[in-house]
Amino acid sequence: MITIQGKSVFGGVSIGKLMFYKRNEKVIKREHISDADAEWKRFEAAKGQAVDQLKELYEKALEDVGEANAMIFEIHQMMLEDLDYLESIENIIRSQEVNAEYAVATTADNFAQMFASMDDAYMQGRAADVKDVSERVLDILCGVSAGVKEMTEPCIIAADDLAPSETVQLDKSKVLGFATMYGSANSHTAILARTMNIPAVIGLGETLSSQYDGKMAVIDGFTGILYVDPDEETLARMQEKRAKDLEQKELLNQLKGKENVTRSGQKINVYANIGNVSDLGAVLKNDAGGIGLFRSEFLYLENSTFPTEEQQFAVYKQVAESMAGKKVIIRTLDIGADKQVDYFNLDKEENPALGYRAIRICLTRPEIFKTQLRALYRAAVYGNLSIMFPMIISVSEVKKIKEIIAQVQAELKAEGIPYKEDVELGVMIETPAAVMISRELAKEVDFFSVGTNDLTQYTLAIDRQNQKLDTFYDPHHPAVLAMIKMAADNAHAEGKWIGICGELGADLELTEEFLKMGLDELSVSPALVLPLRKRIRECE
């Protein structure tokens, strides 16, 4: 038995086989070939296999996410049949007498560069598509796997760390838990684990090796320990611990339908944070009062090009309808920093957390922002939908947002498309600047939602993704709590409500403190709704 100590990010016990997340490991070399006809046939065979894979993906996506979201796989099939693309590959193979891998990689680079340099946003989006389909063909030609996408049985996912674009590809119904070598408590792997209500351990270091792939393992999410090849005694102890944990969760289920009210009668709304339509079941199952944060950027992370207005409208409408009149707060696009999307073609930055991200992208690339706002205002007709804007630092930004909203509403009206006019608007309080001007901001909007992950990062000047700084990162820091208190006082002074949608909202040690501050809402991962309700009901 191998025992590896890490850091727990979500409690519980998980027992199953380890599966290491495999990334592409292929080196494309230029090689001279003597038979161009044979090499071209080799490419055609790989292309045919890629088309078959895309057809299967289309059928699967059709069932999982609907026709609008599945269309991308049809587009990719069409790209593989594009004459210009095919002629370029054939020409390189025959004229330069080189291998198919080199010809595909060169064509992909040339076409991606050509699309990326165009002024049209749609055509720029094709750059990521041509790379994606070419990577699929190269995987087949090189005989490598493209990462854990097909999981034959439920397993514990092991990796160095996982990017948001990688976590969205996983078959979440088969993920028993996460074990990563690196990462912080605020990494996307950690947030995903909390959303999915599954145990996760991070920071296991180099001891977690791919040589353990396929071995039986146990995650103890309470102590942060990973056991590989556990002995019988450890396995029995962990099975008993898991049974007790499930029993505890069953007791929490008895709180469903109860109010979030303290012993002294103070009420507070408890909502859920989600990133996908597939999380809706967890929201309803855990009896959340609404959705306090829908991370719309996952629509962009899951796509290989900009999601269309219709794609977004279908998702927002489904969320609004499913919540049947309960509040649904959708955060506009929050790309940048640690959430990178290839087709946005963002430059590499020295300090991405302080860089071109979130509302800054939306206000400087209004065509992207307008598409999202049109979808949101149309979907608002079907439920109780509110919109909030991330990374706000000035009143002028809010006024600019309102100008763009007015343009969007005028366009929808002129086109005769139904939309809701009086949608509740809010801003996220994530920067010290927003806290300091919160009284002025409160005059412009209907509500505040405190993003404590970023607020802590910016207040303490600590990169929350840097695990070397974990000992310095203190979300309970008096300065952070003072910031939240100031924002709450200023919101209430202007008659507006305020909530928390960051990870701190689920910190049961601070629940009583937040109640004293008079916070109106706490939004947490669906799995934490009932534990938070229990804590609220115990408070005086």
Cross-strand partners of 7: 202
| Cβ atoms of residues 360 and 351 within 8 Å | no
Residues 6+ apart with CB under 8 A from 69: 61, 302, 303, 311, 314, 315
How far lies 231's CA from each of 2, 228, 235, 241, in Å?
A: 9, 9, 6, 15
Q: What is the dihedral of CA 360, 346, 465, 293, to 10 degrees?
A: 50
* Amino acid of residue 21: Y
129 marked as binding residue: no
* Amino acid of residue 59: E
30 marked as binding residue: no
Query: How many angstroms separate the most distant Cα atoms in the chain?
Result: 85
Residue 425: closest CA among 388, 370, 450, 390: 388
331 marked as binding residue: yes
| Cβ atoms of residues 164 and 188 within 8 Å | yes
539 is catalytic: no
253 marked as binding residue: no
Q: What order do you get walking across the sheet with 175-180 strand by strand?
A: 2-5, 225-228, 216-220, 13-20, 155-159, 175-180, 200-202, 7-10
How many CB atoms sit inside 10 A of residue 310's CB? 14
Triad 328, 329, 330: Cα angle to 5°: 115
Q: What is the spatial distance between Cα 117 and Cα 112, in angstroms, rounded to a whole number?
A: 9
Choosing from 76, 188, 362, 492, the catalytic residue is 188
155 is catalytic: no
439 marked as binding residue: no
430 marked as binding residue: yes
Choosing from 76, 155, 362, 501, the catalytic residue is 501
Tell me the pairing of strands 216-220 and 424-429: unpaired
| Cβ atoms of residues 216 and 205 within 8 Å | no
Q: What is the spatial distance between Cα 486 and Cα 451, in angstroms, rounded to a whole number?
A: 14
Residues 6+ apart with CB under 8 A from 255: 287, 530, 533, 534, 537
Type and span of the H or E element at 448: strand 447-450
Q: What is the spatial distance between Cα 388 and Cα 378, in angstroms, rounded to a whole number?
A: 16
Q: Which residues of 3-41 are buried (b: 16+ CB within 10 A; e: fewer)?
A: ebebbbbbbbbbbbebbbbeeeeeebeeeebeeeeebbe
* Residues noted as catalytic: 188, 501
**What residues form the annotated binding site?**
295, 331, 430, 453-454, 464
**What residues form the annotated binding site for Mg(2+)?**
430, 454
**What residues form the annotated binding site for phosphoenolpyruvate?**
295, 331, 453-454, 464
